[in-house]
C-alpha cells in the first residue's frame, strides 16, 4: 500500500481525532449515507445498524487500515478476505464504493475538519483500501460466475422443502426456479445469502450451507424472538414460494486454513446454538476423509429440544471410532439425563457452558490440532481465551462470525 509522505503525516495527525470520535463517527456516516442514498437500505442489515454492530465493524476496518499504513504493513489478508466475501454475497458493486467514500469524507468534514489537506489524505487512503477490495471482489465474482453451475448476483429459487429440526430451528431446501442443475458447489463452511422482503425493505441475510446436494441448497435457520428475517422465514416462507439467493461465498473453510483437507492433523469443532451449522458442514465432509484420524465435536445447546441434528451426531459417535463428541446443556430439562462422560453417544455430558478443562484428557497429543469455532460473539471470545490458556497458536484458531466482523 503506497501513499505519499505528506498523506501519511496527515493521517497520523488526524487518526487520534477519528479514534476519539469512535462509533459516533461511523453512526453519523451511516445516517448520512442512508439519507442521501435510501436505496442502500435494501443492502445493509438494519438489525445490525440498530445494535451498532455495523458501525463498529466499519470503524474497526478504518482503524486497522490506517494503523497498517502508518506502520508500513499490509492489511491482513484475512481481513480483506472476510470483507470481500461478505461484499460479494451482497453483490456490492464497484460504483458503490464512490458513494461510501463520498460519505466518509462528508462525515470527516462535518464532525472533525473541512481542511482540504486532511480530506485529500483520507480520500487517498480510502482509494487504496477500496482498490484492494474491488480487486479481491472481482476475483471472487469471476470464480463464482465461471464455475460449473455458477452465477453472479441474485438468482430466483423455489422452496422445495421445509423441515423442523428442533423447537427453534427449521431447515429450508431451495431449488433453482429455472431448473438448471447441477448447482455451483461450495466449500464446507461457506454460506449463501437469501434476499427476503419482510417489511419495507429487502433484508439480505447470510446462512451457512449444510449437507451438500447437486440439486438444492440447504440451510438451517434459528427463529429469534425479535428477529425480523428469521421470523419471516419461519412463519411466512413456505414450500412453493420463490426467493432470490446469491451464490456461495465465505472464507471459513479448511481450504483457507493451510489446506487441511490434505493433512492428517486433529480437527476440533466447537459450536454453540445455531453456530453448529457451518461446523456440521465441515464435519459432514470430514467424516469421509480417511486421513483425519482424530475429529472432535464440542457443542453447547440449551437442552435437547433446542439441539438440532442430535440423532445424526449420536449416530456418528456410534459408528466412528475416530470421532469424539461431547455436549454441554446450559438449561437442561428434567427429562434430559446426563450421560457417562466417556460415552460417545450420550444425549449430553456436562451441565453449564463449554469448559475445555473438562476435556483436556481427550485432547492429549493434539498440539497440531486446528480449532474451528462458531457461535455468539461472547461465546467465541470465551473459547478463544480458553484455547489461549491451552497454548493453542493463533494460526490454529478459526472463527466464523455471523454479521459484521468483530475481533475475537
Catalytic amino acids?
97, 137
Residue pair 181/222 in contact (Cβ under 8 Å)? The answer is: no
How many other C-beta atoms are found inside a 10 Å radius of the C-beta of residue 82?
20
Q: What is the largest CA-CA distance in the chain?
A: 69
What is the C-alpha separation between 83 and 137, in angstroms, rounded? 9
Burial class of residue 377, CB neighbours in 10 A (0-12, 13-18, 19+):
middle
What is the C-alpha separation between 325 and 223, in angstroms, rounded? 26
What is the C-alpha separation between 257 and 237, in angstroms, rounded? 36
Q: Would you say the C-alpha torsion 120, 126, 132, 134 has a positive or negative sign?
A: negative
Report the run of H or E that residue 279 belongs to, with start and end. helix 276-286
CA-nearest of 406, 379, 368, 373 to 252 is: 373
Residue pair 277/309 in contact (Cβ under 8 Å)? The answer is: no
DSSP result, 200-218: SS---EEEEB-S--SS-EE
Q: Would you say the C-alpha torsion 403, 90, 88, 158 has a positive or negative sign?
A: positive
Buried b (16+ CB within 10 A) or exposed e, 151-160: beebbebbbe
3-class SS of residue 336: coil
Residue pair 347/311 in contact (Cβ under 8 Å)? The answer is: no
For β-strands 191-194 and 205-208, DSSP reports them as: antiparallel
Distance, C-alpha 367 to centroid of its chain: 26
CA-nearest of 63, 11, 89, 57 to 251 is: 89
CA-nearest of 313, 283, 315, 304 to 351 is: 304
Amino acid at each position: 500500500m503506497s501513499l505519499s509522505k505528506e498523506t501519511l503525516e496527515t493521517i497520523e495527525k488526524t487518526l487520534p481525532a477519528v479514534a476519539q470520535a469512535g462509533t459516533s463517527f461511523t453512526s453519523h456516516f451511516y445516517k448520512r449515507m442512508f439519507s442521501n442514498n435510501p436505496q442502500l437500505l435494501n443492502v445493509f442489515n438494519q438489525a445490525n445498524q440498530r445494535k451498532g454492530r455495523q458501525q463498529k465493524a466499519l470503524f474497526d476496518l478504518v482503524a486497522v487500515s490506517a494503523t497498517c499504513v502508518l506502520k508500513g504493513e499490509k492489511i491482513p489478508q484475512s481481513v480483506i478476505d472476510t470483507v470481500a466475501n461478505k461484499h460479494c454475497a451482497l453483490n456490492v458493486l464497484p460504483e458503490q464504493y464512490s458513494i461510501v467514500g463520498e460519505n466518509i469524507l462528508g462525515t470527516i468534514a462535518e464532525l472533525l475538519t473541512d481542511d482540504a489537506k486532511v480530506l485529500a489524505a483520507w480520500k487517498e487512503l480510502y482509494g487504496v483500501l477500496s482498490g484492494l477490495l474491488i480487486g479481491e471482489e472481482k476475483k471472487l465474482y469471476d470464480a463464482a460466475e465461471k464455475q460449473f453451475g455458477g452465477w453472479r448476483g441474485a438468482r430466483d429459487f423455489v422452496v422445495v422443502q421445509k423441515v423442523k429440526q428442533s423447537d427453534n430451528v427449521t431447515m429450508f431446501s431451495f431449488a433453482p426456479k429455472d431448473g438448471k442443475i447441477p448447482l455451483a458447489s461450495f466449500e464446507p463452511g461457506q454460506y449463501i445469502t437469501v434476499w427476503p422482503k419482510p417489511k419495507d425493505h429487502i433484508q439480505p441475510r447470510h446462512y451457512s450451507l449444510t449437507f451438500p446436494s447437486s440439486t438444492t441448497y440447504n440451510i438451517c435457520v434459528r427463529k429469534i424472538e425479535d428477529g425480523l428475517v428469521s421470523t419471516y422465514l419461519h412463519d411466512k416462507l413456505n414450500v412453493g414460494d420463490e426467493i432470490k439467493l446469491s451464490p456461495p461465498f465465505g472464507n471459513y473453510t479448511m481450504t483457507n486454513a493451510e489446506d487441511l483437507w490434505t493433512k492428517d492433523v486433529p480437527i476440533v469443532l466447537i459450536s454453540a446454538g445455531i453456530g453448529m451449522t457451518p461446523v456440521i458442514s465441515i464435519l459432514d465432509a470430514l467424516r469421509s476423509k480417511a486421513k483425519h484420524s482424530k475429529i472432535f465435536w464440542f457443542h453447547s445447546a440449551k437442552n435437547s429440544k433446542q439441539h438440532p441434528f442430535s440423532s445424526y451426531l449420536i449416530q456418528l459417535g456410534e459408528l466412528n471410532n475416530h470421532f469424539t463428541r461431547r455436549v454441554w446443556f446450559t438449561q437442561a430439562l428434567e427429562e434430559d439425563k446426563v450421560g457417562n462422560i466417556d460415552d460417545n453417544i450420550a444425549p449430553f455430558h456436562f451441565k453449564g457452558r463449554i469448559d475445555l478443562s473438562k476435556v483436556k484428557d481427550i485432547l492429549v497429543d493434539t498440539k497440531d490440532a486446528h480449532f474451528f469455532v462458531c457461535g455468539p460473539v461472547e461465546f467465541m471470545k470465551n473459547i478463544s481465551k480458553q484455547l489461549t490458556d491451552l497454548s493453542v497458536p493463533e494460526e490454529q484458531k478459526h472463527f466464523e462470525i455471523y454479521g459484521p466482523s468483530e475481533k475475537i
